[in-house]
Amino acid sequence: MKEQDYLDHLVGVFGHPVAENPGVVIQEAAFRDLGLRNWRFLTINVDPDKLGDAILGLKAMKFRGINCTIPHKIGVLKYIDVLSPSAKLIGAVNTIINDNGVLTGDNTDGKGFMIALESAGISPKDKNVVVLGAGGAARAICVELALAGARHLTIVNIPKDIAFGESLVRILKENTRVAVDYVSWVDAFKIPAGTDILVNATSIGLYPNVNDKPNIDYDTITKDMYVQDVIPNPAFTPFLREAERRGSRWQNGMQMLINQAALNITMWTGLKPNKEVMLKALEEALS
């Protein structure tokens, strides 16, 4: 008789809001391609004050793991048993692996970003980089850029989150050799002359707020700059449209999302997914 196994293996994402997150599309496309017929990816809206309850539920239902997106990447740290070296340095977690109730926190945001950068033929070594934002994704990106040899980082962040920005600067100064400046983001920020790479690591422009764009002086973007957005949905944000209008090379957040999702799947299943299958599923979903 054929073995009867209907047990679901659960993973997913905690966020708030999270309805626009396309992780389920790419993760389940990869599961099908890998023949993992009982694996399920759940998209779960978790209020910030209920995150602890959600973690207890994750353990009770034996989730294999979970992604954390806005606003949980930093708040989830208090519930983690073991932090990977990169997550500890970054101070944010976007991936949790559950080993029989022991939760290990890791961060694949920065790694996914760096793979996307490499695929575009861009090396951060000895480059001047401006990063908009200082939240979970920005922290991961800045740490990875610094470790990869960026010459100078300018971190631009809104005043209400000054503590996040200052703690990120301190981490970078204490653990890397990069030169770093912090700018309180009040007025339209002018991108400094000599900037090589400009990164939007905020959620500005994310669906459903598809007409929003970061408050910068877009006339200070030049054709010599490489511009990267971390937002995958929509794929072509107003921020990127402004960059294209000025002749800059650019990349959207889809490749970064695919890369970090592929890393997550390997952490959870031990298998290496086909990223082309994942990208095709994402493009079809967003078309």
| Nearest of 167, 286, 188 to residue 233 by alpha carbon | 286
For the chain, list the strands marked E by DSSP.
9-15, 39-45, 65-68, 82-83, 95-99, 102-106, 128-132, 152-157, 179-184, 189-190, 197-200, 216-217, 226-229, 249-251
Alpha-carbon distance of 91 to 174, in angstroms, equals: 13
Residue 272 appears among annotated catalytic residues = no
Catalytic residue among 2, 50, 73, 173: 73
C-alpha 178/C-alpha 180 separation (Å) is 6
> Which residues does 167 contact at the CB level (< 8 Å), separation at least 6?
91
Asked if residues 136 and 73 have their Cβ atoms less than 8 Å apart, the reply is yes
Alpha-carbon separation of residue 253 from 85, 113, 199, 201, 228 (angstroms): 25, 8, 10, 10, 7
Distance CA 273, CA 111 (A): 16
- Residue positions annotated with a catalytic role: 73
